[in-house]
Structure 1
Amino acid sequence: MRRFDAIKAIVQKAEDKDSLLICNIGYPSRELHHLKDRSANFYMLGSMGLSSSIGLGVALSVPDRHVIAIDGDGSVLMNMGSLATIAHQHPENYLLVVIDNGAYGSTGNQLTATALGTDLAIVAKGAGIDEVHNTFSEEEFREKLKNVDRGVIVVHVDAGNSKVPVIHLTPEKIIERFMSECARPSMSS
């Protein structure tokens, strides 16, 4: 499975649940924007390693909305402390999806520690997160997305970036429309 396909599946869940969606920097945000631009998407244009932390903050500050954060293996490795904070706070409305391609995809596909054996699902469990799932196929990942609304899902994908255009929204526009979306009550049942 490619990261693009994993993001496509996440978009479907986000639309079904009317979720706020925070996406990792670089190509993941570009791929999300290409697949489905929506005001409920927050595209990281900087701050590598902070999608999980920003997602947690949004989930805690907007408890009536479901929040999904998309992060990469390289970013989670850079900010592993966020896993312990997520475990300690354990919000019911927060799902972190870690797309593990074993590479720093936006900077040239250099190997990450996960390509060398680090298992982020085990790390998340060790940090104290009680609901952690490790998926290795598109079918398994889609099934988990249907049934899991909180905790962490690690989805293993092939390295590589889709050819998608850059995001032409300004950072000010991204945050302005996302903040307006955060203030809106959820449309999901």
Structure 2
Amino acid sequence: MAKLNKLQTATLPDAVLDRRQAVPALIENPDDFLMIAGLAGTAWEMSALTHESPRLFGLAGAMGAAPMMGLGLALAQPKRRVLVATGDGELLMNVGALATIALQNPPNLAIICVDNGHYGETGNQDSHTGLGVRLDVIATGAGFPVVHVVNTEADMAEGRRLLREGNGLTFILLRVKEGPATHEGKKNLVPHIERDRFRAALLG
């Protein structure tokens, strides 16, 4: 198999943030949101951050599903702020979702993509973003009205503000260095249990 070439795109600075600190620092208060977490690292991180809150639907499979689940939830619950947290690998699996979400343009939806440039669950191979693909540029081209890149601690405050006060569909690319996610969250993300817990919390 031929070796993949690194794309000659406008590059971002090397990632310096540790995801285990950066994800909770950006989200800060998860009780402000209804949340969908993509599979693997983000599901563990969000579970740990929320202390297994029933307001979180964490995925253990269905790679690529989190953004579209978030869209459906945002459309169904227009008065609630909806947050999707996913990884670069999962978003690349269904990158066309960004176009559909932008066309629907729900103002109560925010998407965080935790981008470490690797497929952490399958051997830590370089992902497309590790080879130069820019998901923030794709989100802008798809039509997201608000796109923000968090590269350093200095970018965090604006990211936190946009999650809550952006008053529009928001995409935040959280760039983190290579390294493991926290595994302090739920040990078993059983789909039907997640569904039932989330539904009960949502409907009261």
Q: Which residue of 1 aligns with 2:10?
A: none
Q: Which residue of 2 aligns with 1:183?
A: 203
Cα pair 2:148 2:171 within 8 Å, conserved: yes
Pick from 108, 112, 121: which aligns with 1:106? 121
Q: CA deviation at 1:38?
A: 0.5
Q: Using the alignment, how far apart are the partners of 2:157 and 2:200 within structure 1?
A: 29
Q: CA deviation at 1:10?
A: 4.6
Q: Which runs of 4+ in 1 moved over 6 A?
A: none
Pick from 161, 169, 173: which aligns with 2:180? 161
Q: Using the alignment, how far apart are the partners of 2:182 and 2:86 within structure 1?
A: 19
Pick from 94, 103, 108: which aligns with 1:93? 108
Q: CA deviation at 1:169?
A: 5.2
Cα pair 1:33 1:167 within 8 Å, conserved: no
State percent identity of aligned pairs.
34
Q: Using the alignment, how far apart are the partners of 2:140 and 2:126 within structure 1?
A: 23
- Specify whether residues 139 and 108 from structure 1 end up closer, same or farther in structure 2 by C-alpha distance, changes over 3 A only: farther
Q: Using the alignment, how far apart are the partners of 1:11 and 1:80 within structure 2?
A: 23
Q: Using the alignment, how far apart are the partners of 2:189 and 2:101 within structure 1?
A: 30
Instruction: Return 136-145 or 150-159, whichever deviates more.
Output: 136-145
Q: For each residue in 1:83-107, what CA deviation from the matched residue of structure 2 results, as whole angstroms up to 9, or x when unmatched? A: 0011101101100001110011222
Q: For each residue in 1:58-113, what CA deviation from the matched residue of structure 2 results, as whole angstroms up to 9, or x when unmatched? A: 11111121100001111111111110011101101100001110011222211111
Q: Which runs of 5+ in 1 are unaligned?
A: 185-189
Q: Which residue of 2 aligns with 1:9?
A: 25
Q: CA deviation at 1:163?
A: 5.0
Q: For each residue in 1:23-52, what CA deviation from the matched residue of structure 2 results, as whole angstroms up to 9, or x when unmatched? A: 010122122222322010111011111111
Equivalenced residue count is 182
* 1:63 and 2:84 aligned: no
Alignment of 1:3-42 (within 5 A): 3-15=19-31, 17=32, 19-36=33-50, 37-42=52-57
TM-score (norm 2): 0.82
Q: Using the alignment, how far apart are the partners of 2:144 and 2:109 within structure 1?
A: 12
* 1:46 and 2:61 aligned: yes
Q: CA RMSD in A?
A: 1.8
Bigger-Rg structure (1/2): 2
